[in-house]
Amino acid sequence: MTDSHLTDAELSALAQAYGTPLYVFDERVLAERVHYLRSVFQEPLELCFAMKANPFVLPEVAPLVDRLEVCSPGEYRICRTLGMPQSKLVISGVYKDEETIASALGGARLPAAVTIESLGQLDLVEALANRRSERVRVLLRLSNGSQFGMDRQDLIEAARRALAHEHLEPLGIQLFTGTQKTSLARLGRELDALSSLMLQLDRALGWRPRELEIGPGLPVAYFPGDDLDEPAFLTAYARMLASLEFDGRIVLELGRSLVASCGTYLTRVVDAKRVGSQSYAIVDGGINQLVYFGQSMAMRQPPVHLVNGRTAEQPRSPGSVKRADVDAPSPGEGAEPEAWTVCGALCTTNDLLAKQLPLPGLTLGSVLAFEKTGAYSMTEGISLFLSRDLPRIAIVDAGGRSRLVREGIRTNPFNTPRWALCASEQPSPHADA
């Protein structure tokens, strides 16, 4: 995994400029990661970015990849707002609403493909494709036994219907079976299943798919001690793909593997105390904003470090505590670094970010940098819980310059009963006299 280009001095400056909590995504690390993956999975293999992993880097990642996977109406609207090329979009998702598909098929350019996850979805796409004089390209999704995609019988029937439809162009097969897969044997079995299916399609319909879009769920080594030799793993999988008896286009759909390394999450210590024999650092972030795959109750130590000990003073609201108001526990000279349990700002005992971390120099106002947070953290967390504000998001570009791409967002309107918003001029029946 590519290391961050950002120094502690730069992280400290970002925390001072934008406040915390803050997500920082480094365009340089992102570009290096895409370049590395392309060097392992060489042409003609192509890359598709699953935008659900991080929609905030779309402008940076779009020129680097061949396709963008869209899985919801909201994601499609994001692409429209940002001007993403329609010809790069793969319209996917287990539920496709008519409005989104109609919009995707109604523009000047057709999307790269629309995935078909059921015969019912095929009915919808067939009806909307009839409005176009061009043929709509479709990918038939094979299920791995979950709710996603079709079993073989339905997929063969969908292929039969698509081949007979004058306004549909079946491109090939899509397969996605999970994430964080570390078993090469499992990945090999999935490729064997695709080979078997293609042979069955050829025998039944005389049709050979021209394209395979595969979401292999490549693993990311998030935690210290993760037993993953990524270069060897990726090289072995690349050899599997190269040995596949298929002469069409192979597209790898990746999310986590593409963008995890480009992100850093900054959160500031807002309280430091000892309860019995345990030292606690309370930060202004929390598990609502920081999600690592497989992390539960901080059972594993995340990749995190203290940014230069103390940092510049966080902008304070009236009545907030000053640094000098609290004496945080600190080890004596020559003592072992004190072990801190880092907790977020949510009022739940589940809000544990890390347990027993040796963090020498931690004090009120210190900033912690959690690494490898470029995938899912900013969208997958329980962001509305306790109505905490959403963090700001900054991008550092290829020249090392930063810009804010999202302001902090207050979430309390989402959790306020509608009558209170509509009748805010009327006194509440429960208001104090």
Over the stretch 345-364, which tens digit does the pLDDT of each residue have? 999 999 999 999 999 999 99
Nearest to 90 by CA among 127, 119, 124, 65: 65
| Per-residue confidence band for 66, with pLDDT thresholds at 50, 70 and 90 | very high
| Per-residue confidence band for 421, with pLDDT thresholds at 50, 70 and 90 | low
Among 65-69, 320-324, 348-352, which is the least confidently predicted range? 320-324
* pLDDT(263) > 70: yes
Nearest to 211 by CA among 242, 244, 250, 260: 250
Q: Helices 230-243 and 184-205 meet at what angle, rounded to 10?
A: 20
Structure tokens at 322: 């000053």
The per-residue pLDDT for 332 is 43
* pLDDT(131) > 60: yes
The per-residue pLDDT for 10 is 96
Q: Using CA atoms, how far apart are residues 135 and 90, in angstroms rounded to an integer?
A: 15
Angle, CA 422 vertex, CA 418 and CA 425 arms, to 5°:
130
Cα 402 to its chain centre, rounded Å, is 21
* pLDDT(336) > 80: no
pLDDT, mean of residues 241-267: 96
* pLDDT(256) > 60: yes
Pure H helices in 4-97: 8-18, 27-40, 58-61, 73-82
Over the stretch 91-128, which tens digit does the pLDDT of each residue have? 999 999 999 999 999 988 999 999 999 999 999 999 99
The per-residue pLDDT for 1 is 42
Alpha carbon separation from 272 to 20, 289, 343, 355, 365 (Å, rounded): 17, 20, 10, 14, 9
- Chain position carrying tokens 């072992």: 336
* pLDDT(296) > 70: no
Over the stretch 6-40, which tens digit does the pLDDT of each residue have? 999 999 999 999 999 999 999 999 999 999 999 99
Q: Are 34 and 22 in contact (CB under 8 A)?
A: no
Among 7-16, 18-27, 265-274, 303-312, which is the least confidently predicted range? 303-312
Q: Using CA atoms, how far apart are residues 401 and 142, in angstroms rounded to an integer?
A: 43
Alpha carbon separation from 88 to 68, 125, 218, 392 (Å, rounded): 6, 18, 22, 28
Cα 355 to its chain centre, rounded Å, is 25
Q: Using CA atoms, how far apart are residues 89 and 51, in angstroms rounded to an integer?
A: 10
The whole-model pTM stands at 0.89
Q: Using CA atoms, how far apart are residues 86 and 105, in angstroms rounded to an integer?
A: 10
The per-residue pLDDT for 147 is 93
CA-based Rg of the chain, rounded to a whole angstrom? 25
* pLDDT(376) > 50: yes
| Per-residue confidence band for 426, with pLDDT thresholds at 50, 70 and 90 | low
The per-residue pLDDT for 78 is 97
* pLDDT(433) > 60: no
Total residues found in the chain within this entry: 433
For strands 278-283 and 113-116, give the pairing: unpaired
Q: 219: cis peptide before it, omega within 30°?
A: no
Structure tokens at 310: 């103390």
End-to-end CA distance of the chain: 60
The per-residue pLDDT for 33 is 97
pLDDT, mean of residues 410-433: 67
| Per-residue confidence band for 422, with pLDDT thresholds at 50, 70 and 90 | low
Establish how many alpha carbons lie within 13 A of residue 42's alpha carbon, considering only the half-sphere containing its beta carbon.
4
3-class DSSP state of 90: strand
Q: Using CA atoms, how far apart are residues 186 and 183, in angstroms rounded to an integer?
A: 5
Q: Are 102 and 128 in contact (CB under 8 A)?
A: yes
The per-residue pLDDT for 381 is 83
The per-residue pLDDT for 43 is 80
The per-residue pLDDT for 133 is 83
Q: Using CA atoms, how far apart are residues 123 and 177, in angstroms rounded to an integer?
A: 24
The per-residue pLDDT for 260 is 96
Q: Using CA atoms, how far apart are residues 275 and 41, in angstroms rounded to an integer?
A: 52
* pLDDT(253) > 80: yes
Over the stretch 201-231, which tens digit does the pLDDT of each residue have? 999 999 999 999 999 999 999 988 788 999 9
pLDDT, mean of residues 233-238: 97
Please state, rounded to an integer, the average pLDDT across all residues of the chain.
89
* pLDDT(410) > 70: yes
Q: For the chain, give the percent of residues with pLDDT over 70.
A: 88
